[in-house]
Structure 1
């Protein structure tokens, strides 16, 4: 199920919730960020592969479950990150957006839209 939200600063968030897994299209969020805060800049940081590897080990999954890139026919790219990974990207890119996203996740949990289990 897809949800779209707009943060206070106008950043657009598109989330996909499927089988209790929440993914965020960070490419959409990044449209409101500076060029040096784009997802590819973060993904190319030396520390990120190690972070993703550790996250995979702790979550018992493969990297493609945490990061999923979709190239559309019109040339646009969607970069979907699992919520935990997306939070780390947002903390690096804009702390206020990370705080807003965390609050939105808490709302979705509180109203029963998603589960922590």
Structure 2
């Protein structure tokens, strides 16, 4: 019984991120700061809150963000740069909101599409 109670509490907690996979598009610009890296993909911009490209209702999905404190930050950062320079489409798994003012979907993983 306790297992079901704990599971229910976790599922309905306001702290649980929705997370999800985005559509795909080409990175047109990259914004690098000492506190974050953000990429802009025009094909993924949506004004609809809770959309596929903004499942956690971040303030905006004009950018997608990673933070230097993220696991594999260097690898993800290098992957984003390589994809932008090669003009390859990418898609993300996002969870939560990060970047400037914690306003943008947080990139957890990256797929490069041929």
Using the size of structure 1 for normalisation, the TM-score is 0.26
The structure with the largest alpha-carbon Rg is: 2
Bigger share in helix: 1
Tell me which of the two structures has the higher relative contact order, counting C-alpha pairs closer than 8 angstroms and 6 or more residues apart. 2
Bigger share in strand: 2
Using the size of structure 2 for normalisation, the TM-score is 0.27
